[in-house]
Chain A
Amino acid sequence: GQQLNQSPQSMFIQEGEDVSMNCTSSSIFNTWLWYKQDPGEGPVLLIALYKAGELTSNGRLTAQFGITRKDSFLNISASIPSDVGIYFCAGFRDDKIIFGKGTRLHILP
Chain B
Amino acid sequence: DSGVTQTPKHLITATGQRVTLRCSPRSGDLSVYWYQQSLDQGLQFLIQYYNGEERAKGNILERFSAQQFPDLHSELNLSSLELGDSALYFCASSSASGTVTDTQYFGPGTRLTVL
Contact = CB atoms under 8 A, between A and B. Distances in A.
A42 B108 contact: yes
Interface in B53-81: 56, 58
Given A42-B107, A43-B106, A100-B42, A33 B101 contact: yes
Contacts of B92: 42
- Chain A interface, >50% SS class: strand
A78 interface: no
B42 A41 contact: no
Give chain A's interface residue range (CB within 8 Å of chain B).
Answer: 10 to 19
B31 to A, nearest CB: 14
- Chain B interface, >50% SS class: loop
A43 B90 CA distance: 9
B99 A95 contact: yes
Contacts of A7: none
A99 interface: yes
A97 B42 contact: no
Given A42-B90, A42-B92, A92-B99, A99 B109 contact: no
B20 interface: no
B42 A45 contact: no
A84 to B, nearest CB: 18
